[in-house]
Amino acid sequence: MRHVSACLLLLCLMLVSGAAQTPAYRPAWHFSPQKNWTNDPNGLVYFQGEHHLFFQYNPFGDQWGHMSWGHAVSRDLVHWQELPLALAEENGVMIFTGSVVVDRTNSSGFCKPAPCLVAIYTGHESTRETQHLAYSNDRGRTWTKFPGNPVLDRQRKDFRDPHVLWHAPSRQWIMTLAVPDQHKVEFYASPDLRRWQQVGEFGNAGSRAGIWECPSLNVIGDRWLLTVGINPGHVAGGSGTQYFIGKFNGQQFENANPAGQVLWLDHGSDNYCTIPFHGTPRVNMLGWMSNWQYANKLPTSPWRGQMTLAREVDLIETPAGWRVRQTPILPRLQAPLLRGEALSKRLQTLDPEQPFILDLEIEAGDAQEFGLLIRGLQLSYDARNQQLVLDRNQQLPKSPEFRKRMTALLRLDKGRLRMRLVVDRISLEVFAEGTEPVALTALFFPDPDAKSMRWTGNVASVQGRVQQKR
Ligand code: FRU
């Protein structure tokens, strides 16, 4: 009898808490919170052997609201350990997106002793957005909000998502902020993270089809990469990230490409508010693997939202100009090289429910179309239109925003194409390279009956390595 009532109680709890749980959808190589809602990654920073991922988080439910900063740490950027909430909403001020820096010289006066971590984030109220500080002297475990907050208030309703870096040539902190409805970013400078003065701005370029959010600025070699989230208006619909490559002199960003040119960091529909880790020797970036078009409807439970893989970013010169190339950070592939038929057979024997990494080198020959079928999801290369195509039309959920065909211009390099695919339980990340690199990231929710994984099309030659998660 007691057993029956315990079962009934569990059933009631499940009904009250909404959807049934979906453990089969739990990502294995990507961060997702144990429960509740997440959107943008925040405050990515490497400090004393740990990568910190803070993230927009609702501690009370699986829809957007009560925005606070969740927290997770990782040594290898693949396995994450979730920690208690870092920064909580307080007195109606939500904690929006921002960054964390390592203050090595105690320029802020918050370190006891240096180095310490300082968070710079947007405090969101219904009529005003202002910039705030918090600091931690125990490796990010606990945080103190600065009593002098806000440190920057321009009396604006929309003014958010500070990204801060140390600009060595001018020996000052630089903060890049989005003015969403004016489709521009502004640059502010400070000696101590507390006093900020505007030094420049950048706009009137790239795509201005939607609001601008979540900017980031970074130096890579002798060039600067400025990324900006846009919503809506992304090439795959809804939200996504565009980028600019140029020079930054401590005040102004000079775009090396024509102002009208639009460059997308990712051609898939699920990579938003991508920002870099502070404090790493190479630039590693990570984004929210979702899209504002349907984020609230994704059929996962008890969590909703996850991050992309971290990717090392470099800038390369291609026949079309300077471009971003992304290399996913993953355990090293140790699988043998397989060719043609052997590779094809291996694909068919993969366990469809377990994640895998696939590296491919393809010589297209006369093939007009070739690719892979992954549990009902068709990824293909259309040689006639020189396009990489991902068709999500047969996928769940059935909302029209989710069902879409994503494309990216991709020219073969002397008839050849290289691709790395990372397939987790509900996501696909494609890193392809012809004459230019292309990234395409998309969620997908396979029908449990769709088990088949196979190579499609007849190419001159294909070889590759495939490794499945054990
Ligand atoms: C982007 C965004 C940010 C904001 C945050 C709020 O996804 O709208 O501009 O800081 O989400 O959760």
How does pLDDT run across 52-70, given as a tens digit for each residue? 999 999 999 999 999 999 9
Please say if the pLDDT value at position 13 is more than 60: no
* Least confident piece of the model among 268-277, 364-373, 391-400: 391-400
Answer whether residue 4 shows pLDDT above 80.
no
* Residue range 107-136, pLDDT digits in tens: 999 999 999 999 999 999 999 999 999 999
Centre of ligand 1 from the C-alpha of residue 237, in Å: 17
DSSP state of 262: -
Q: Is the pLDDT of residue 8 over 70?
A: no
437, 324 in Cβ contact below 8 A? Answer: yes
For residue 3, pLDDT over 90 is answered with: no
pLDDT, tens digit (0-9, with 9 covering 90-100), for 343-354: 999 999 999 889
pLDDT at 18: 55
Atom nearest to 56 CA in ligand 1: 12
Q: Can you tell me which atom of ligand 1 is nearest the CA of 178?
A: 9
Per-residue pLDDT for 447 more than 50?
Answer: yes
Judged on CB neighbours under 10 Å (0-12, 13-18, 19+), 59 is middle
- Are 377 and 389 in contact by the 8 Å Cβ rule? The answer is no
pLDDT at residue 171 tops 80: yes
What phi and psi, each to the nearest 5 degrees, are found at residue 107?
Answer: -65, -25
Q: Whose CA is nearest to atom 6 of ligand 1?
A: 96
* CA 54 – ligand 1 centroid, Å: 13
Q: What is the C-alpha separation between 27 and 292, in angstroms, rounded?
A: 20
High-pLDDT (> 90) share of the chain, %: 90
Q: Compute the distance from residue 188 Cα to the ligand 1 centre, in Å.
A: 20
Q: Which of 54, 56, 292 for a ligand 1 pocket mutation test, highest count of atoms within 8 Å of Cβ?
A: 56
Atom of ligand 1 nearest to the CA of 98: 10
Residue nearest ligand 1's atom 9 by CA: 213
- Provide the pLDDT for residue 118: 98
* pLDDT-based confidence at residue 180 (cuts at 50, 70, 90): very high
C-alpha gyration radius of the chain: 23
Mean pLDDT, to the nearest integer, of 1-10? 44
Confidence band for 19, pLDDT divided at 50, 70 and 90:
low
Listed residue (285, 283, 286, 288) closest to 269, CA to CA: 288
Q: Which residue reads 């208030």 in tokens?
A: 153
- For the residues 171-193, what does the mean pLDDT come to? 98
**215-247 per-position pLDDT tens digit:** 999 999 999 999 999 999 999 999 999 999 999
Identify the active-site residue in 40, 266, 270, 424. 40
At 445 the pLDDT is: 93
Q: Which of 89, 96, 163 to mutate to test the pocket of ligand 1 (most atoms within 8 A of CB)?
A: 96
Ligand 1 binding pocket (C-beta < 6 A) is 39-40, 56, 67, 96-97, 122, 160-161, 213-214, 273
CA 379 – ligand 1 centroid, Å: 30
Alpha carbon distance 98, 73 (integer Å): 17
In Å, how far from its chain's centre is CA 426? 15
**Mean pLDDT value of segment 293-305:** 96
Distance 96 CA to ligand 1 centre (A): 6
Atom in ligand 1 nearest the alpha carbon of residue 67: 12
CA distances 301 to 17, 26, 355, 412, 429, Å, are 10, 9, 19, 41, 22
Name the 3-class secondary structure at 151.
Answer: coil
Checking if the pLDDT of 6 tops 50, the result is no
Catalytic site includes residue 62? no
pLDDT of residue 80: 97
Q: Please tell me the predicted confidence (pLDDT) of residue 398.
A: 77
pLDDT at 10 over 90: no
pLDDT reported for residue 12: 42
